[in-house]
Amino acid sequence: MQNIFGTDGVRGKANEGYITPENAMKLAVSVVNYYADMQHKSVNSKFTVVIGKDTRLSGYMLEPALTSGFIAAGADVVLLGPIPTPAVAFMTRSLRADLGVVISASHNPYYDNGIKFFNSNGFKITEEEEIKISEIFYNHPKLISTEFMGKARRLDDAQGRYVEFAKSSFPKNLGLSGLKIALDTANGASYRIAPQIFWELGAEIIHIGNEPDGLNINKDCGATHTELLQQTVVEQHANIGIALDGDADRLIVVDEQGEVVDGDFLIATIANAWKSSGKLKGNTIVTTVMSNIGMEKYLNSVGLNLIRTDVGDKYVIQKMVEIGANIGGEKSGHIIPIDYSSTGDGCISALQILSFLQKDKKRASEIRDLYTPYPQIMMNIPKILDLHEPKILDCINTINDMLKDTGRIVVRKSGTEPVTRVMIEAQSKTKAKEAERYFKDVMEKI
């Protein structure tokens, strides 16, 4: 039996594979079958689902398909409209719903889409739950009698509720007055919400990527394409650039000099600031195997521990909950300030960075002074490699022996695209390039 879930929900090209109206409806029925049974809910005790989406054209197709499936299985549905992923997690908790659903492919292009689920506490569902839902999906999920069908309604003030919630994470004695922020919302789910948050706190906003048309989400903008933001920050003399991705669960910063500040620097900054103010729990930060060795050495030098997980913010969150850490995330910009948000939250993470800069009267470029990152080389191989293949294993082991304690290679299957991702990290660019050449030579022979 195939697990239909990847590292972040069910993903694929819209109108293909699992991302069709038929399969979305079937998935919705399967989910209700599983959770209603697990919670021992009778047909008279309603199961409530909240649904949010980003700005992709295919969201108009998947939202009603999912709604139909949930209603046909006996669930009530609350529609939030275009709203960031972390806002769905928040609204699931706030409305005391049984399940939160996000229709989004995050940082991917418009032609992709995905469906991800949050439990009643706002945390992503577990792999065990995904496998059991997949089993129901492949074994004829059951519909309900007509008299027990659910209903749907739209919640008009969901965006405003999240704006107020996000603002509550910012210190009451601080504001953003006098700050010029270039804000890139990736033509995505936060195109209205994010500007409102920062404007209400007093910032002057330069808008980028806030005219979604259903096809331009993440296109040459947002957290994965910062070139326009970098140019705008320098030309408009902004104090800082903030880039979110299509569903606003990622944050990348551009400093006043136009340089990119990635998730590793941002996590280290928040950890250090929270340590100084007594907010950091357990002196431990959780990141993935992709986080820079330079970051780890820096954290160790200031008395903080780093724990690494597999790639995927859900693995980071699981480890954070397990050990009681309250800050963690990924180099890619998924930052989880778990005291406020149960998933990656670009807006709230940005507010933590801005509060640090405002409180200590620092420039954004000073974040990059924390440590010197090790050079990293990233590659995408346009196929799924068999990582148990002896020749590939020998190649990986040889490179790790070459780099010894001064670097490493990470080879992994992408959870969101049909590619194999490779990261080579070394203390010097020369060593990294040497390892890259060796890896490419071996791959060509294979």
Buried b (16+ CB within 10 A) or exposed e, 247-285: bbbbbbbbbbebbbbbbbbbbbbbbbbbbeeeebbeebb
pLDDT of residue 333: 96
Q: Looking at the whole model, is its pTM more than 0.75?
A: yes
CA distance 315 to 74: 31
* DSSP structural state of residue 255: -
Strand residues in 203-358 grouped as ranges (E): 204-208, 240-244, 251-254, 260-261, 284-288, 305-309, 327-329, 335-337
pLDDT at position 6 = 86
- Measured in whole angstroms, the distance separating CA 397 from the mean position of its chain's CA atoms is 31
Residues involved in catalysis: 106
Q: Name the region of 306 (left: φ>0; alpha: ψ -120 to 50; beta: rest).
A: beta
pLDDT value of residue 58: 98
Class of 177-258 in CATH: alpha beta
Domain ranges of the chain: 10-156, 177-258, 261-369, 376-445
Q: What pLDDT tens digit does each residue of the chain (446 aa) get?
A: 689 998 789 999 999 999 999 999 999 999 999 998 776 655 456 899 999 999 999 999 999 999 999 999 999 999 999 999 999 999 999 999 999 999 999 999 999 999 999 999 999 999 999 999 999 999 989 999 999 999 999 999 999 999 999 999 999 999 999 999 999 999 999 999 999 999 999 999 999 999 999 999 999 999 999 999 999 999 999 999 999 999 999 999 999 999 999 999 999 999 999 999 999 999 999 999 999 999 999 999 999 999 999 998 889 999 999 999 999 999 999 999 999 999 999 999 999 999 999 999 999 999 999 999 999 999 998 888 888 889 999 999 999 999 988 899 999 988 777 889 999 999 999 999 999 999 999 988 88
- Give pLDDT, residue 40: 60
The answer to whether the beta carbons of residues 238 and 256 sit under 8 Å apart is yes
DSSP 6: B
Q: What angle do CA 188, 14, 313 make, to 5 degrees?
A: 55
List pLDDT tens digits, range 336-391.
999 999 999 999 999 999 999 999 999 999 999 999 999 999 999 888 888 888 99
The domain made up of 376-445 has a fold known as TATA-Binding Protein (3.30.310)
What is the distance between the alpha carbons of residues 329 and 223, in angstroms, rounded to a whole number?
A: 15
- Closest to 186 measured CA to CA, from 156, 153, 225: 225
**Is the fold of 10-156 the same as that of 376-445?**
no
The class of domain 261-369 in CATH terms is alpha beta
User: To 10 degrees, what angle do helices 85-94 and 346-360 make?
Assistant: 100
C-alpha to C-alpha distance for 258 and 181, rounded to whole angstroms: 12
Rounded distance between C-alpha atoms, residue 19 and residue 245, angstroms? 21
Q: Could you tell me which of 390, 274, 247, 407 has the C-alpha nearest to residue 328?
A: 274
- pLDDT, tens digit, 9 for 90 and up, residues 249-281: 999 999 999 999 999 999 999 999 999 999 999
Task: Please name which of 168, 174, 238, 175 lies closest in space to residue 208, comparing C-alpha atoms.
Answer: 238
Q: Which pLDDT score is estimated for 383?
A: 85
Predicted local confidence at residue 2, as pLDDT: 84
Domain 10-156 has CATH 1.10.10.10: no
Q: Cβ contacts of residue 136 below 8 Å, gap of 6+?
A: 30, 33, 34
pLDDT at residue 417 in the model: 76
Strands of the sheet containing 240-244, edge to edge, are 204-208, 180-184, 240-244, 251-254, 260-261
